[in-house]
Chain A
């Protein structure tokens, strides 16, 4: 097994390490938030232990209290939050008893932190070198020259090219991934004994995430630090952590070795979490995803008995009658908080097949959308000196000569890293941006210009679902008004029937009719996204552009929304252009996948084409970088090095050449890549000879075999 899996297997925990004094010991922690006279009991009775050299993942969905645990440990709870009970010990120090001065002495030197958003964690007014240097000087006796050497050494340690150059730069001159590396360098500046990481890779591209995780794994070994890793991403946990605590609504429901929890999850919640993630061998044609229905319980008014009982598929009367406690399950020190864990059926992953590639037939349906040589260029704002000196206007080539077709009732997924132009493509289709050149043929008529310049009929037939559920609905409009507006705008339903139709649409997205009177702030994220879907379908469209509609949602909610999208598509024969960076979601949902890189198409084909060799080298790297929460799947390790080229007036040649591990020197930099066709549906744009592409090994395999996962 390659990198991803080995860390799981060779967990450095031994019996000796277990007996030694833990680096961090959280005992019976209770945290409450007080607002408007109400107590929200966000964390209740959490016990966590992290030993030296060990990585403990605290994994949970939003509202689970995982960040409250992290903030309590850092003594960074906001004014409304309070530790009600329990202890947090770092080695022999009681963290909760320290005063501000003592705390500052420990934080940054013996305990370090890395947060989610590197942009806000770095001070934009100071150079990188000075910011790290300040940490070094504050906590060590280094003089300025020594401190400077230390800074360069640290920057080198996080694989930043040209450390001396980076030290001189300001935060805004670095990419998000580079900024996160700087923060990691800063965290390791004083050989911390404990590192707290709160969603450190959320918001980064998968390729960058893979790099960062590799890096932290290397540093962990070098410094033997204990790591408390807060995340919602089970794939990252499987790839990177030794032990995992699954936290839900403020309680740890299961805790144990990653290798055990992911193969033999004991708690029903852990099992549901693992099964609601679309697996890479699962397609919408196989079966529906299992979603966790319901909502988090109200933490101001706790239910009796098991906190998860209301949403549990294995619940029995005993669950709501008995108080739960963490019981030891199995012989490897795993704990589970479920009174029925011993009665539950054995857990088996529902796999699609024994392997063996499936083949898809060519799509013969009538195309609803044909994109021909589409180009979207945007002028770069010129400086006044450039205008005066008559410098040529430069353009960002956001979408550069893309041609794809999308059949009626089918799903075309567009994947790629941030900045690859996938969102621009979607916005050009719905008319939020204009195309520079090329054609968009929609059901026989041309889509040009902005939405307001198109005919009402065309506007009705092309709809969009946005990424952020919190911004997609007008906070001042009721759900009924939001869904009803397309009905009246496009004269779809006579006025007296409108309310009836709104109710029908609400039912079709599994929301009760009474929601028509509600306002967005009364809905959860998943419910808002359902309303947005109902609003898009209200127009009875033939094409919906889905711009990352799932990426802001928890995995359990994601599964339900994915099921909903599949069901609605079956019923209405609406085509989706699905923009996403999540390959497992795309694998499940789509009929065709287009991989974009810097405005260009790298590869296109059915999921069965794209997920098995031959690959475009970029697809190969993407597949290698995704984190899969399945210990029975192995991944090849391919990491992209090299600089990302600028999208402003890009140079000729293959756009991917600067980062491509399989680059053919001179050729790739000079000429645009030729097209290779494999079968009726699969196209790859690459200079690598056909035979060599065909010889590629599968990146994602079942453990112990060469069979690719599809």
Chain B
């Protein structure tokens, strides 16, 4: 082919792509999650009172201008406690998800790519782990390691690892015999190069979507463990703990329970919206690329 033809072989498809439409669920979910994250970071600087300050004269006060969401039986400001709890809950859920996703991705990639009896063994172990209900498994782990925040995070990671590994493995299986992977094998690339440099970049979309789903479950697990007394310990301002400790006052002073419960619901819905939006956005991107 003579060089003079180069000009005509270019630019039927422009190199610069038009911006894609971002789904509404991604915008809403993303901004609410971002707001919670912001709250977790700067919460202590903006909260009206320290979360553990007692106001003996105003115990069980209903919401007012002074105490926006009321106070509890020790006269602690609920609003300040919910804000402080955001840091604990968001970070614990995030850390637990991160552990689960990282471990699950690594296991899933190796299991799916290497195959054979290693795959078989790893997948049977995940089957066993997944046969326990998530909360029960987390409780078992915490019961064995001792009840505190760190162990709660570790237990969430352990519960999530097999689930993420399954998703990543199936995505990996789909790419295992694709030609660019075989091309890398022919070149003699190492296994870890093929796994982390050839396959991993192509399975980010399912990993991201799965991580969002896991994150919403992690929030639920964190507050459930604290509610059961297996996570954060008093006087930590954990949302689950707050509900557990104050549940006796549900009738006489519902704001004590409703505020943390509302925070939990909002965060979980937001994370779910984020996950749905991500899935939609990434699927649309894939279509656009093709």
Q: Are A451 and B180 in contact (CB under 8 A)?
A: no
Q: With A476-B201, A489-B189 in contact, do A524 and B12 touch (Cβ < 8 Å)? A: yes
Besides the contacts A431-B185, A518-B15, what 8 more A-B pairs have beta carbons closer than 8 Å?
A36-B288, A432-B185, A464-B182, A475-B289, A512-B9, A521-B289, A521-B290, A564-B1
Given A454-B188, A489-B187, also A310-B6 (CB < 8 A): no
A466 and B179 form a contact (CB under 8 A): yes
Would you list which residues of chain B between 1 and 20 have a CB under 8 Å from chain A?
Answer: 1, 3, 5-6, 8-10, 12-13, 15, 18, 20
Cross-chain contact A295 with B202 (CB below 8 angstroms): no
| A468-515, CB < 8 A from B | 468, 471-477, 485-486, 489, 507, 510-512, 514
Contact with A along B52-91 (1 / 0, CB 8 A): 0000000000000000000000000000000000000000
Contact string against A for B residues 274-290, beta-carbon threshold 8 Å, 1 for contact and 0 otherwise: 00000000000000111
Residue of B nearest to A453 (CB): B188
In this assembly, does A311 line the interface, its C-beta being within 8 Å of a C-beta of chain B?
yes
Check B202 against A474 for contact (C-beta < 8 Å): yes
In contact, A298 and B12 (Cβ under 8 angstroms): yes
- Indicate if the CB atoms of B9 and A295 lie closer than 8 Å: yes
Tell me the smallest distance from the CB of A485 to a CB of chain B, in Å. Answer: 7
Write the nearest CB–CB distance from A360 to chain B, whole angstroms: 28
A307 in contact (CB, < 8 A) = no
**A297-B12, A510-B6, A563-B1 as given contacts; A472 in contact with B187, CB under 8 Å:** no
B183 in the interface (beta carbon within 8 A): yes
Flag whether B251 is at the interface (Cβ < 8 A): no
A471, B8: Cα distance in complex, Å: 25
Can you list 11 A-B contacts with CB-CB less than 8 angstroms, sorted by A residue number? A295-B9, A297-B12, A432-B185, A451-B185, A459-B187, A471-B179, A473-B180, A474-B198, A475-B202, A522-B15, A524-B13
Contact B180 A474 (CB under 8 A): yes
Give the residues in chain A near B189, CB-CB below 8 Å: 489
Q: Does B46 contact A (CB under 8 A)?
A: no
CB distance from B11 to the nearest CB of A (A): 8
- The residue on B at minimum CB distance from A545 is B186
Q: Mark B13-51, 1 if CB is under 8 A from A, else 0.
A: 101001011000000000000000000000000000000
10 tightest CB-CB pairs across the interface, nearest first?
A294-B8, A476-B201, A293-B5, A466-B179, A510-B1, A471-B179, A459-B188, A474-B180, A521-B289, A295-B12
Closest chain-B Cβ to A397's Cβ sits at a distance in Å of: 22
A527 interfacial contact with B, CB 8 Å: yes
Chain A residues with CB below 8 A from B13, complex form = 522, 524
Given contacts A459-B188, A468-B179, A489-B189, contact A560 B8 (CB under 8 A): no
Question: A510: which B residues are within 8 A, CB to CB?
Answer: 1, 3, 5-6, 9
Residues of A within 8 A of B144 (CB): none
Cβ contact within 8 Å between B188 and A294: no
Interface digits, A588-626 against B, CB 8 Å rule (1 contact, 0 not)? 000000000000000000000000000000000000000
Q: Are A466 and B6 in contact (CB under 8 A)?
A: no
Give 1 or 0 for each of A109-125: 1 = CB within 8 Å of chain B CB: 00000000000000000
The reply to whether B178 and A459 contact each other, CB–CB distance below 8 Å, is: no
Closest A residue, CB atoms, query B290: A521
| Interfacial residues, chain A to chain B (CB-CB below 8 A) | 36, 291, 293-298, 310-311, 430-432, 450-452, 454, 456, 459, 462-464, 466-468, 471-477, 485-486, 489, 507, 510-512, 514, 518, 521-522, 524, 527, 532, 535, 539, 560, 563-564
CB distance from B10 to the nearest CB of A (A): 6
Cross-chain contact B1 with A451 (CB below 8 angstroms): no
Cβ–Cβ contact A452 & B10, under 8 A: no
Query: Which residue on chain B has the smallest CB distance to residue A459?
Result: B188
Indicate if the CB atoms of B8 and A295 lie closer than 8 Å: yes
Contact partner, A472, options B6, B8, B183, B289, Cβ 8 Å = B183
Residue of A nearest to B194 (CB): A452
**Contact status A36-B183, CB under 8 Å:** no
Q: What is the chain A residue whose CB lies nearest that of B287?
A: A35
B182 touching A432 by the CB < 8 A rule? yes
Task: Note all chain A residues with C-beta closer than 8 A to B8.
Answer: 293-295, 310-311
The residues of A that contact B6 with a CB separation of less than 8 Å are 510-512
With A510-B1, A524-B12, A564-B1 in contact, do A459 and B18 touch (Cβ < 8 Å)? no
The answer to whether residues A485 and B187 also contact, given A476-B201, A510-B1, A522-B15 and a CB cut-off of 8 A, is yes
Name the residue on B nearest A507 (C-beta).
Answer: B3
Chain B residues, Cβ within 8 Å of A468 = 179
Contact A452 B185 (CB under 8 A): yes
Which residues of A lie under 8 Å from residue B21 when comparing CB positions? 36
Bound Cα distance from A291 to B288, whole angstroms: 30
* Residues in A neighbouring B1, C-beta threshold 8 A: 291, 293, 510, 560, 563-564
- What is the distance, in angstroms, from A504's C-beta to the closest C-beta of chain B? 13
> What's the Cα separation between A293 and B8 when bound, in Å?
7
Q: Are A452 and B188 in contact, CB atoms less than 8 angstroms apart?
A: yes
Chain B residues within 8 Å of A489, by CB? 187-189
**Distance, CA A7 to CA B178, complexed state (A):** 42
Using Cβ atoms and an 8 Å threshold, which residues of chain B touch A36?
A: 18, 20-21, 288
> Roughly how many angstroms separate A58 CA and B48 CA in the complex, as a whole number?
76
B14 closest partner in A (C-beta) = A522
Cβ–Cβ contact B290 & A451, under 8 A: no
Q: Which residues on the B side are within 8 Å of A486 (C-beta)?
A: 187
